[in-house]
């Protein structure tokens, strides 16, 4: 799948895909960010 096609399907920017691929290449993984949504709680 091309990066442009994936960005349209998942509604993310091509730059985001580039950043994920770069991180995967450098670290071997691309985990979710910890505490990304600090204001979110399960009660909301």
The pLDDT of residue 11 is 93
The pLDDT of residue 9 is 94
Cβ atoms within 10 Å, residue 10: 10
| Contacts with 13 (C-beta within 8 Å, 6 or more apart), sequence order | 7
Euclidean distance between CA atoms 13 and 40, whole angstroms: 24
Q: DSSP secondary structure string, 2-44? A: -HHHHHHHHT--HHHHHHHHHHHHHHS--PPPTTSSTT--TT-
Per residue in 4-44, pLDDT (tens digit) is 999 999 999 999 999 888 888 888 877 766 666 666 666 65
Euclidean distance between CA atoms 24 and 43, whole angstroms: 33
């Amino acid at each position: 799948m091309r990066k442009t096609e994936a960005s349209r399907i998942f509604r993310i920017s091509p730059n985001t895909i580039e950043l994920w691929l770069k991180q995967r290449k450098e670290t071997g993984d691309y985990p979710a960010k910890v505490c990304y949504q600090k204001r979110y709680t399960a009660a909301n």
